[in-house]
Amino acid sequence: MIPVTLLTGFLGSGKTTLLSRLLREPAFSKAAVLINEFGEIGLDHDLVETGDETLIALSTGCLCCRVSSSLAKTLALLEARRSAGEINFDRVVIETSGLADPVPILQALAGDRMIASSFFVDGVVTTVDVISGASTIERYAEARRQVAMADMLLVTKKDVAEGGFKDVAATLGAINQTARIMDARDWKGDLVHQAETSRGVLSASMQTLSLRLRPHRHSYNFSTVSIVSDRPLSALTLPLFLEGLAAHLGPRLLRAKGLIAIRELPEQPMAIHCVQHMVHKPIFLPSWPSAERRSRIILIGHELPERWPGLLLEALEAEVASITGPAEPTMLA
């Protein structure tokens, strides 16, 4: 039986960062990884380093609403290829989208006979951001369900807000009395369930949860805006763009992330991240992770305007180029 770890947590709470670290731990060095993102275009699979054949981006869309059948098919295919000796993995990690409800995903895993005969869930790991975790839990039912279903609650970004841990831990403990709560940096990948007990424990917690919380339904009409540009952007444009977005969209913007081709450094894409009001420090990757070299920016939130974020980026880029020198012709989609 192959263990499956479900890695969940609200938008921007640190799932991909944790996963990248986890895959360097010996216990996870032969893990197959399935990544699901909310937007139309995915980025996370480009930000995680692992063997190409065992890193699979599940068709974008919310795993809990639309793609649980593709999850079952993907696991079945992985198992068939493993049995045929074509690929090698000894565990699976599923990173859900930040808006996913874990319950329908666990139900899909438990309800499929083929999956249940080859895989078992060894734990639900939920990341919670110490900066915005408590307010997110208050505002979004999705975040509460992710916390309620967890076996491990991993508090992230403690390095940025050391003092917030106790408060977040108290909020988490009030929702889930049985999960371990710890600093994400201290977790080495140990999990709780064994093959023999996994199904019973999980169905008991799913039942308890369904008594406590209303059935799965997203709390808002979440949407995404994708911006794709095939010419490099000026490094100066991006902070202006992110500030402009934050100022105009306020709490409706939950997440912005992107991989950007920078005019000044075209061989090293810049990864940008905004999580609610917080703009994280951009990081230059050493090289492009795949053949796709266009800049891609994804915004996730509710009541997002479809057109003007792209127009804003274009206008700011033109303005910056007028000061710093001309850029190549624009191609924003």
Ligand X SMILES: Nc1nc2c(ncn2[C@@H]2O[C@H](COP(=O)(O)OP(=O)(O)OP(=O)(O)O)[C@@H](O)[C@H]2O)c(=O)[nH]1
Q: Which residues bind ligand X (CB under 6 A)?
A: 9, 11-17, 44, 98, 156-157, 159-160, 184, 255, 257, 273, 275, 280
Query: Shortest distance, CB of residue 324 to ligand X, whole angstroms?
Result: 26
Question: What's the min distance (Å) between Cβ of 73 and ligand X?
Answer: 22
- Closest CB 255 distance from ligand X, rounded Å: 5
Comparing CB distances to ligand X, the nearer of 44 and 79 is 44
CB of 118 to ligand X, least distance (A): 27
CB closer to ligand X, 118 vs 132: 132
- Shortest spacing between CB 113 and ligand X, in angstroms: 31
Cβ-based nearer residue to ligand X, 16 or 68: 16
CA distance 161 to 103: 30
- Paired with 55 in beta bridges are 33
Nearer to ligand X, 160 or 170 (CB): 160
Nearest approach in angstroms of CB 13 to ligand X is 5
**Closer CB to ligand X, 51 or 282, in the complex:** 282
Instruction: Indicate the residue whose CB is closest to ligand X.
Output: 98
Q: How far apart are CA 275 and CA 217, in angstroms?
A: 23
Judged by CB, which is closer to ligand X: 8, or 234? 8
